[in-house]
Amino acid sequence: MDNEIRQQRWLVHLWLIISFLLSLITFPLHLSILAHIFFGLLFAGLVVAHLRQRRRTVRILWRDIKRVVAWIKPRGRMAWADVVLVVVTLNVVVSGFADYFNHNQPVMIPLGFISPIRWHAVSSIVLLALLVVHTLRRAKRLRTSQVR
Ligand code: HEM
Ligand code: HEM
């Protein structure tokens, strides 16, 4: 049973990495935008599976978010880092749909003091950076996680 759980967690981690990278390389490989959207949505679906596999952890982290005194503890900081990750992930999916419905043209965000930025492209780069940190810090548990 433990082996089965470990295997399932590892498969989701592996496909999270693969689907994210596939979504990114659809551009240098000049593949269709539909392939890009397919891998992007696969990644988003796997994130839901990833969170569902650790419902208990997510519940504990959520409790820490609601208790201000817990914020200074390492677990509280981890909880906030995870909130940022969730928000940026949602931002990538929402901005992706915004570009799609804008006839595959990037939606720009005016910042006033510098030139406008591409909402989806910038969100994706921020997500990439956060995922590198998230994954490297948990690298030892990629294959062995049994956390629920
Ligand atoms: C490349 C994609 C990702 C990989 C490879 C990955 C991998 C991992 C690993 C190995 C763990 C540790 C499991 C353990 O403690 O045993 C973990 C935990 C977790 N991940 Fe991810 N993850 C990815 C993306 C995400 C995303 C996008 C989110 C949120 C939207 C997320 C939210 C969490 C949460 C809430 C936890 C539990 C608490 C924590 O350790 O921070 N992950 N992830
Ligand atoms: C893993 C998640 C995703 C990543 C890392 C990602 C990344 C990117 C990047 C880097 C570009 C090129 C941006 C540019 O040239 O300005 C792009 C374009 C695009 N993406 Fe995504 N994307 C993801 C998910 C999605 C999803 C879920 C959709 C849903 C419809 C989507 C729709 C689009 C569209 C329509 C474009 C072309 C318009 C544009 O250039 O912004 N993407 N994406």
Q: Which residues pair with 118 in a beta bridge?
A: 108
Query: So where are the chain's domains?
Result: 2-141
Q: Is the pLDDT of residue 120 over 90?
A: yes
Ligand 2 nearest atom to the CA of residue 118, by list position: 16
With 0-12 / 13-18 / 19 or more C-beta atoms within 10 angstroms meaning exposed / middle / buried, residue 40 is buried
Given ligand 2 and candidates 99, 108, 117, 125, which is best to mutate, with the most ligand atoms within 8 Å of its CB?
Answer: 99
Q: Give the other-Cβ count within 10 Å of 83's Cβ.
A: 13
What's the start-to-end Cα distance of the chain, in Å? 13
pLDDT tens track for 88-113: 999 999 999 999 999 999 999 998 88
* Residue located nearest, by CA, to atom 38 of ligand 1: 57
pTM (2 decimals)? Answer: 0.94
Residue type, 34: L
Q: Ligand 1: which of 138, 141, 145 to mutate, judged by most atoms within 8 Å of the beta carbon? A: 138
Place of tokens 């952890």: 57
Over the stretch 29-57, which tens digit does the pLDDT of each residue have? 999 999 999 999 999 999 999 999 999 99
- Summarised one tens digit per residue, pLDDT across range 122-135 is 999 999 999 999 99
